Chain A
Amino acid sequence: MVSAFEFVPAIAVLPLVSFVVALTFGKWMPKKGALAGIFATAGSLLISIWTALTVAGFLGSETAYHEEIWTFATGIGTFDLHLGVFVDPLSSLMLLIVSLISLLVFVFSLGYMNDEDETGLPRYYASLSLFSFSMLAFVFADNILMAFMFFELVGLCSFLLIGFWFREDAPPSAAKKAFLVTRFGDFFFLIGVVGIFATFGTGLFATEAGFPAMAEQAITGEMPGPVSEFLSAVGMGAQQWFTILGLLVLGGVVGKSAQFPLHTWLPDAMEGPTPVSALIHAATMVAAGVYLVARMYGFYLLTPTTMAIIALIGGFTALFAATMGVVKQELKQVLAYSTISQYGYMMLALGSGGYVAAVFHLTTHAVFKALLFLGAGSVIIAMHHNENMWDMGGLKEKMPVTYWTFLSGSLALAGIVPFAGFWSKDEVLYEALIHGLGNPVLLVAWAMGLLAVFLTGFYTFRMVFLTFHGEPRSDTAEDPESVRWNVKLPLGILGVLAATIGFINMVPIKKLTGLKIDFLHKWLVGSETLNAEFLTGLEHYEPILKNVAGIEASYIAGSEITTLLLSAALSLGLALAGVGLAYRLYAVPEPVEHTKKLGGLRTLLMHNYYQDEYQVWLAEGVTLPLARVADTFDQGIIDGVVNGISSVSLFSGDRVRRIQTGVVSNYAALLTIGLALLLIAFGIVGGWF
């Protein structure tokens, strides 16, 4: 029978086709290209499911797949560059998520864009399709160069979509910012990629020939030839050099996943259409960074320093973003900062060795964040594109579907049992804790993450209460525009998922009851071949984590259960506390702004800790003036010299011709003098006298 794996490329190619179709024929198509996208992503979803089943081992025997499909650039006497497909549990899971969310976003867009009869829809759907294409191709990339390429394309699509309403001033500038900031991160990423190729001669993620495996050998076993060659060239130890490479790649991750300090582009990115925000934050662009770290986890595990840094960045970002989320006025702004914060959790998990936890949170977050954004989208439709929460209120009755689904999403985000967020976030914190007990750095990261739980609960429900509860605070809120099925359907699906998706990995229950219900964990442990041949299974990672990264689990009072319950109770309690505070402050008929109580802190938070300010200053206060100086220097000095030479020679020419006075006697005189000079000079030289 045919294997699903042969069709994996199609997962990405279908959206690509729909991109071309929408771009060229979109104008004349019934839904302006939406249908093309829907069909394409639906197809991708089906193939993804098929692939997932195959990976799970239900169909056929092989459960992972690697194939080089296109030689990109042939090298003679050096390595080739190629594009290839690599399917393993991680990538197949990601494929599933991405294609699902894309499909739903396409459907939702029918309501959000078409029904609002926006212009330029073909462009919109084309970009959307390109976005899905890039992301899917990125997911099944088999080497880091290919990953980078589609990583960049994702950036392009974000540029196109954020700047979709190019006729206004704000969106294009936001788009520019998004691309520039992520580009800055990608600059380091690219150095990392180039470095990896230069060091290992390959960019493969998996198999013995892959660079993580070679790196592992270099550190644990005997040094592979090319690697030692290069290391001696740069004159560094393996550990040291790999750390540098890892950090360089991490630059790209920080940029795309909007981690501190390169998070500034994400809130601005809200200028784009809301479905786009859903896509960007839930499943694609921002997820890409975290996914990349998971993808090359085998490499990061080798360098404890990098791991620690990842954890710290994650923990800090989680807290940092959450604090800013507390004071935002606009619905989508709150969600934006929550996104940053949630991805912080994933980084925290990865950094502290919680591979499963990270992937778990990535999954659940994809669902509930998509849900929240689409819900917000539906609210925004209802509010005629007014996003200020202080103009809303009392929408609960007006739009029940939106309300209940949004609520489910919010509970998930806040991490209230038994919604998805609880399970994943709890596991993240648990992993951080147990590994942190033996490792102060991780413990600090854990503490920050824990603190963020409270804030998350607070700002989430502040948002919910302000939007849906109390009395309507504006005329539009009085009678909001109603939304159609194409909005409600995706909300419904996601709402259910948000409530239930957490059950795929209920570790605490397992630990307590001993039921083998940690499906995701099993899934990521992967098959025999995966660990033996492709080396991307959990069983391959765990020993490295222990031996090389030196991150070991230790438990409070030596009891795993105690620790487990403690951590769960702690996070749940904090979350509930946050919700409760929000309830006391905002779940009243006439809520008022309490931010003044924060005093000086408020302005700081309102200005997002002046992050934008200093980055803008770096760009326009430092770089531009520098460029101008360079320009003046160029025009003045360098070009001045060139022009100077010419004018000097012309001037001297003008002097020289004055010798020709026109008086023949002078000529005779000069002639005589000239001859005399020659005679004297050569007389002296020749010694005639």
Chain B
Amino acid sequence: MVPAEYYLLLSAAMFCIGLFGILTRRNALIFLMSVELMLNAANINLVAFSYQWGNLTGQVFSLFTMALAAAEVAIGIGIILVLYRNFADIDVTKPTTMRW
């Protein structure tokens, strides 16, 4: 079987890709996607180690995570919508009325 370290590396890679996306992309939607990527990186770990440890906790929890991710996206889309209404753009770096 594949040793656990590989899964760890894979998930870490995914996590970093997501993080990279967040840091570089300005489009709110892509921002969201990157977040999803990071969450799923976690899911990989959970599932993998759930198998490793031989209990279902991790797998179940990954389901929770997906659900919550969905909810998060729902809220996110809503916010992005009003963002667009107010700033006529979904560039996350645009709204800077409040700073310092």
Contact = CB atoms under 8 A, between A and B. Distances in A.
Interface of A: 657-658, 660-665, 668-669, 672
A651 to B, nearest CB: 14
Contact of A669 (B23, B95, B99): B23
19 contacts: A657-B100, A658-B100, A660-B99, A660-B100, A661-B99, A662-B97, A662-B98, A662-B100, A663-B93, A663-B96, A664-B92, A664-B93, A664-B95, A665-B26, A665-B92, A668-B22, A668-B23, A669-B23, A672-B19
A523 B8 CA distance: 118
A653 to B, nearest CB: 11
Given A665-B23, A668-B23, 6 more contacts: A660-B99, A661-B99, A662-B97, A664-B93, A665-B22, A665-B92
A660 B97 CA distance: 12
A678 to B, nearest CB: 15
A277 to B, nearest CB: 77
Interface of B: 19, 22-23, 26, 92-93, 95-100
Nearest to A657: B100
A187 to B, nearest CB: 61
Nearest to A662: B99
Contacts of A668: 22-23
Contacts of A663: 93, 96, 99
A612 B19 CA distance: 87
Q: Tell me the dominant secondary structure on chain A's binding face.
A: helix
B80 to A, nearest CB: 12
A688 to B, nearest CB: 13
Contacts of A664: 92-93, 95
Contacts of A657: 100
B100 A665 contact: no
A669 B21 CA distance: 11
A661 B95 CA distance: 11
Q: Tell me the dominant secondary structure on chain B's binding face.
A: loop
A628 to B, nearest CB: 44
B27 to A, nearest CB: 11
A667 B95 CA distance: 13
- Chain B CB count within 10 A is highest, among A657, A660, A664, A669, for A664
B49 to A, nearest CB: 18
Contacts of B99: 660-663
Given A658-B100, A660-B100, A665 B19 contact: no
A660 B100 CA distance: 5
A333 B92 CA distance: 96
B71 to A, nearest CB: 21
Closest 3 CB pairs of A and B: A662-B99, A662-B96, A657-B100
B83 to A, nearest CB: 11
A665 B97 CA distance: 15
Nearest to B24: A665
A672 B22 CA distance: 10
A660 B23 CA distance: 16
A658 B26 CA distance: 21
Contacts of A660: 99-100
A672 B96 contact: no
Contacts of B93: 663-665
B92 to A, nearest CB: 5
A672 B23 contact: yes
- Chain A CB count within 10 A is highest, among B19, B95, B98, for B19
B16 to A, nearest CB: 10
A658 B99 CA distance: 8
A662 B19 CA distance: 19
Contacts of B23: 665, 668-669, 672
Contacts of A658: 100
Nearest to B16: A672
A661 B92 CA distance: 13
Nearest to A664: B92
B30 to A, nearest CB: 12
B68 to A, nearest CB: 20
Contacts of B19: 672
Contacts of B97: 662
A672 B98 CA distance: 22
A413 to B, nearest CB: 89
A671 to B, nearest CB: 9
Nearest to B93: A663
A658 B95 CA distance: 17
A638 B12 CA distance: 57
B33 to A, nearest CB: 14
A664 B83 CA distance: 14
B26 A661 contact: no
Nearest to B94: A663
A86 B100 CA distance: 82
A661 B22 contact: no
A672 B18 CA distance: 12
Nearest to A665: B93
A221 to B, nearest CB: 86
Contacts of B100: 657-658, 660, 662
A657 B22 CA distance: 23
Contacts of A661: 96, 99
